[in-house]
Homo-oligomer: A and B are copies of this chain.
Amino acid sequence: MMDPNQITTEYVGKILEEKGVKPSFQRLSVLKYLMKSKNHPSVDKIFKALSQDIPTLSKTTVYNTLNLLTEKGIVTALNINDTEVLYDYIFKPHAHLLCTECGHVYDVFLDDSFSGIKEIDGHIISEAQINFKGVCKKCHN
């Protein structure tokens, strides 16, 4: 998790600019929301949450922004749940666990031997997505 106090407009704007993305109000809002999220919101959740403060916001803009941030490697699109795509700010590389009971998606931090893989069978690896399914500790008691 990120320190919430760190998530200022300046800080978020700097992240965007470093990746060559113009820090518009909408983009700042979407990324800031993602960084503050403890869960992994869907497009719809992001849209509904931000709409409260930004009544003119269009869902298209949320889609555009998330696609752009994904291309730039700032966020990841999670396909762990087959009903909707979830988005996640990449603070530190990690895996995910979907609880088949409650549906919650947890962050799971594996040791470096997993995330450090750069080559397999002669293929060059640039990105890894590790999704577990199972029963979370809250549900199996």
Contact = CB atoms under 8 A, between A and B. Distances in A.
Contact of A125 (B82, B97, B113): B97
A73 to B, nearest CB: 11
A134 interface: yes
A29 interface: no
Chain A: number of interface residues, binned into ranges = 20 to 34
Contacts of A43: none
A134 B130 contact: no
Given A99-B123, A120-B108, A131 B132 contact: no
A20 interface: no
Interface of A: 77, 79-80, 82, 85, 97, 99-100, 106, 108, 110, 113-114, 117, 120-137, 140
12 contacts: A77-B82, A100-B126, A110-B120, A122-B136, A123-B134, A123-B135, A123-B136, A125-B132, A127-B134, A128-B130, A130-B130, A130-B131
